[in-house]
Amino acid sequence: MVAKVIAILLLLHSSAILAQSQFKAPDYEWSKHVVIGGSEEFNCNETNYMAPLQPSDRIEWVLPDSKRVTTGWSDDHRSLRNITNAGHIINAIMHIKDVQPSIFGYYICRVSRNAGSEVGYTRYGLNLGGAPFADPWEKYQYNLMVGGIAGAVVLVVSTFLCLVYKFRYKELEDGRYKDTSRYTGQPMKSTAVYDNAAMDSSQDSIFKNGDTKPAASTDTHM
């Protein structure tokens, strides 16, 4: 039983380490903190995060209002330009100028093949003032996972201790109470004497009616 508990604890510990590596914040700075009127650029093909692009790949950006834009798109504050090599698109950069509150939020670059399957995506957050723009779930998901694993460890240990008590100490207690049945003895008898005037009066009445009460002896010796 102890060996199984230790094995479970080791498994949970390794899961926590794996979770830490999986939910570690990426190396690239995806959350951009800018001021009103400033400018920023978002690079679609980040090193080590996007698969190498092929000439036939389709690149599109998803704006905070869910609008999808491709090569050549622009508005008053944003423009999309492609980086080419030998006539093939190898990257797409979203350039933002004169930043205003109306355009802050998530910017996502998606890359897909001709067949429509998504190769990968890069996400950025454009934040204006205050704390850096970030998803609350991404901020706290690692702490929540570690807390859940710690709670599971406590639950396993508590369950183990309860089982030990039930199958070990509870049997000892039951056996102790069962052992008392082996001892036998005579019923307890009361030897106490009670002073009861009503009982004495009743006995005097019986003796008078039946003349069974011995007469009091008289001493005739002077």
Lowest-pLDDT choice from 35-39, 59-63, 168-172: 168-172
Q: Model-level pTM?
A: 0.45
Residue with tokens 């049997």: 171
Burial of 79 (C-beta count, 10 Å sphere; 0-12/13-18/19+): middle
95 — pLDDT class (breaks 50, 70, 90):
very high
**Model confidence over 202-219: pLDDT tens digits?**
555 555 555 555 555 455
| CATH no. of 25-133 | 2.60.40.10
Kindly list the domain boundaries of the chain, sorted by start residue: 25-133, 135-170
Lowest-pLDDT choice from 46-55, 63-72, 184-193: 184-193
84-118: string of b/e by CB count within 10 Å (b at 16+)?
eeeeebbbbbbebeebeeebbbebbbbbbeeeeee
**Model confidence over 100-159: pLDDT tens digits?**
888 988 898 888 877 667 777 888 888 876 545 455 555 566 677 778 888 888 888 888
